[in-house]
Amino acid sequence: METTFPKLLFTHAAKRPQAPAMREKEYGIWQTLTWSDLATLVEHIACGLHEAGLTRNEHLVVVGANRPRLYATMLAAQSLGAIPVPLYQDAAAVECVFPLNNAEVRFCVVEDQEQVDKLLEVRDQCQGLNHIYFDDPRGLRKYDEPGLASLESLIEAGKAFASKNPGFMKAEIDKAQPNDVAAMFYTSGTTGTPNGVVHTHFSLLNRAEAGSTFDALTDHEEVLAYLPTAWIGQNIFSYAQWLERGYVVNCPESSATVTIDLKEIGPTYYFAPPRVFEGLLTSVMIRMEDAGTVKRNMFHYFMDIAKRVGPTLMDGKSVAFGDKLLYTVGNALVYGPLRNTLGLSRVRVAYTAGEAIGPDLFSFYRSIGVNLKQLYGSTETAVFVCMQPDHEARSDTVGVPVQGVEIKLADNGEVLVKSKGLLKEYFKNPSATAEVLTSDGWYHTSDAGFLDAHGHLKIIDRVKDVGRLKGGANDGSMFAPKYVENKLKFFPHIKEAVALGDGRERVCAMINIDMEAVGNWAERRNLPYAGYTDLAQKPEVYQLIKECVEKVNADLAEDALLAGSQIHRFLVLHKELDADDGELTRTNKVRRGYISEKYAVLVDALYGGKTEQFIETAVKFEDGRSGSVSATLKMGDSKTFAPVKAAA
């Protein structure tokens, strides 16, 4: 698309000035911002930033939840030719130091007191940081720091400047070209220092247009923006496609009200990582277990019909008249009310990505009439590489290449991508850029996969993580840890898992239980517990998780390629893996290497054949305090199965 984000904004404002652009829930009431209102707000912020000294090609950091004024700030920066850099709002203060220094940031616009405190804490480590603007003034009235001011004051200054210089904004926007840098996103730093992924207006809008065309999106779509703006997926769905199509973006009141806001808005276009869909389903199943006998029996009866008939109907295929009639009744009594309860009653297209989604979970949503599909992409590819067509959605693939995408496989099975949506470079890191971008335009995804007979891409694991077992009966067998971990996480009682085995004779696993699901399971069995650590080490919980592990082993035994990856021993961790403790990235990806080092005593115990091991672990609490958690962890063997031989 040969345009820029600010030009799209002002085109919408000119053609449909009174149409809603954004809504924000404040004090329980939805407030609407029209395209005309938004254009005016962007102009005032841009003029204010210009007067404050923001220059073309300079980076401006934005930190906070999805808020109209923060979106407007990014558009304002782009209008001046500056480059917005969204950072994760839940990142610890120390995690902000590298991007602030790497991008030589002087200007930050943040949401509230929490983010202001974070930046003030590290300000002495970021010498260039001399302008901090906040949107929400609560708690900041008595702050007296140099360079700290409200976004409202910036807007007022910009308003005065704009009235004296009416042609300034248009002149600045006209200077921008499609191939100018539009934004920079920092990777999660799973294996080391984060990289700043540089994208142009063209690369982001090209992929936004490809995705919108694929699903025939219109300006009538409703989207709920609740995921971090620093994540490329949120940015594409609620920023790039929003401006490309002109639909409405809705900002929830807070993270605590997302479920309620989801029901009120009823989005037509929805995206969530698998864990969000898991959480929604878990809450439903917990409520059904607590329902009366008649209601519970009716639910299970019609859900059995939905599982048998629903996915077939969703794929556009015909079913027997009797089944279709029963499904229609079920839709009136169960599926429709259930979609409404989940906030998905109006969803026309729903996507999940980031991690593999369990086949049962995937099938559940499609069986009740939610058009849930998978896609494949990354920060470096501006998300849209592969997407699933409406009638070709399957849990074990990530779809077909989208318009403008070429895919080929390297000799080691790595997926290579060529697309107009590829990153321009890694900021200030030419060697890292050269590692992922070939001279003829192919991007190394670092994912191992293959194209099936239907042209759909299947992803196995990260190339670097695909290892080999050494010694014993499985010597030389492939070991794909992420594949094993995802199979474990398909169970609602397992929240996270870390599989170990590369270079060893056998596979072992460390597992996190899902506190809500297992807690409810324990309460229904009158099993008392005093918190996560106590619950995780209950013999009954250990047996529950063991059954899940053995079901995974039985499933792995049917795959000749990965039968050797069956889990021989496991333990249930005494604490949840946490990004604040360095165990997960901010996008909730396991930092497997770091965990292996941190819990080396547990790894040694697992492979040493021990039945229990004491451990004490340092943790960081939500209020910033540090402490420790200790426990004696049980560990033991799980049943493995002989590989299933393929029929002759």
Q: For 448-501, how does the pLDDT look when each residue is reduced to its tens digit (9 = 90+)? A: 988 888 899 988 888 888 888 988 777 878 888 988 998 898 888 999 999 999
- Integer CA distances (angstroms), 477 to 323, 507, 561, in order: 45, 11, 7
Q: Which of 250, 229, 220 is nearest to 348 (CA)?
A: 220
**Token code pair at residue 275:** 């864990």
Residues 166, 287 within the same domain? no
Give the model confidence (pLDDT) of 17-69 as tens digits.
Answer: 999 999 999 888 999 999 999 999 999 999 999 999 999 999 999 999 999 99
Residue 642 lies in a domain: no
Which of 271, 303, 329 delimits the end of a domain?
Answer: 271
Is 643 domain-assigned?
no
d(CA 498, CA 595): 8
Residue with tokens 């042609």: 167
DSSP reduced 3-state for 353: coil
Residues 176 and 265 in one domain: yes
What DSSP line would sit under 464-520, residue for residue? GG-EE--SSTTTT-EE-HHHHHHHHHTSTTEEEEEEE-TTSSSEEEEEEE-HHHHHH
Last residue of a domain, one of 404, 434, 463: 463
CA pseudo-torsion sign 440, 374, 586, 68: positive
Q: 131-134 and 107-110: which strand pairing?
A: parallel
**Regions of the chain with pLDDT less than 70:** 189-192, 623, 645-648
The 10 Å Cβ neighbour count of residue 368 is 23
* Helix H or strand E encompassing 291: none
Token couple for 151: 């976004």
Question: By residue range, what is the domain housing residue 212?
Answer: 5-271
Q: Which residues share a beta bridge with 351?
A: 271, 373
* pLDDT for residue 647: 42
Element (DSSP H or E) covering residue 626: strand 626-637
Identify whether residues 192 and 252 lie together within a single domain.
yes
Measured distance CA(532)–CA(93) in Å, rounded: 27
Q: In terms of DSSP bridges, do strands 196-200 and 131-134 run parallel, antiparallel, or are they unpaired?
A: unpaired
Gap between the Cα atoms of 430 and 437, Å rounded? 10
446 shares its domain with 492: no
Identify whether 647 is part of a domain.
Answer: no
Cα angle 56, 60, 63; round to 5: 160
Length of the chain in terms of residues written: 648
- Asked which of 247, 271, 295 is the last residue of a domain, the reply is 271
Task: Round to whole Å and give the CA distance between 522 and 512.
Answer: 16
Residues 531 and 385 in one domain: no
φ/ψ (deg, to 5) at 113: -60, -40
Same domain, 321 and 259: no
Do 470 and 602 lie in one domain? The reply is: yes
* Angle 569-574-579 from CA coordinates, rounded to 5°: 105
CA distance 609 to 597: 19
Cα distances (angstroms) measured from residue 648 to each of 269, 555, 562: 46, 20, 20
Rounded Cα distance between 351 and 562, Å, is 28
Q: Which helix (H) or strand (E) holds 352?
A: strand 349-352
Same domain for 503 and 459: no
- Count of CB atoms situated within 10 Å of the CB of 594: 15
Q: Are residues 205 and 82 in the same domain?
A: yes
Q: How far is CA 561 from the centre of its chain?
A: 29
Which residue, 383, 414, 418, 384, is CA-closest to 402? 384
- pLDDT at residue 588 in the model: 79
Helices 168-175 and 35-52 cross at an angle (nearest 10°) of 90
Residue 644 lies in a domain: no
Domain check: are 299 and 357 in the same one? yes
**124 in any annotated domain:** yes
Work out whether strand 248-251 and strand 20-26 pair parallel, antiparallel, or are unpaired. Answer: parallel
Reference 488, options 635, 323, 622, 638; nearest CA is 638
What separation in angstroms does the CA of 183 have from each of 77, 201, 203, 609? Answer: 10, 8, 10, 51
Q: Are residues 204 and 337 in the same domain?
A: no
204, 521, 537 from 497: Cα distances, Å: 33, 19, 16
Residue 396 contacts residue 430 (beta carbons within 8 Å): no
Q: What is the CATH number of the domain that holds 349?
A: 3.40.50.12780
Q: Is residue 648 part of a domain?
A: no
| Integer Cα distance of 487 and 465 in angstroms | 16
Helix (H) or strand (E) holding 62: strand 59-63
What's the rounded Cα separation, in Å, for the pair 480 and 104?
A: 39
Global confidence as pTM: 0.81
Residue found by looking up tokens 């702050």 in the block: 143
| 327 and 358 Cβ atoms separated by less than 8 Å | no
If you search the block for the tokens 């300079």, which residue do you land on?
Answer: 58
Contact between 76 and 98 (Cβ < 8 Å): no
Q: Is residue 354 part of a domain?
A: yes
Rounded to whole angstroms, the Cα distance separating 405 from 393 reads 19
How far apart, in Å, are the Cα atoms of 132 and each of 43, 60, 228, 299?
19, 10, 20, 53
Cα–Cα distances (Å) from 188 to 12, 85, 91, 231, 595, in that order, read 34, 14, 11, 9, 16
Tell me whether residue 506 is in a domain.
Answer: yes
pLDDT of residue 476: 79
Question: What are 507's strand-pairing partners?
Answer: 567
CATH for 525: 3.30.300.30
pLDDT at 191: 55
Phi, psi (deg, nearest 5) at residue 58: -85, 150
Task: Give the side-chain half-sphere CA count within 13 A for 66.
Answer: 25
- Counted domains in the chain: 3
Shared domain check, 439 and 399: yes
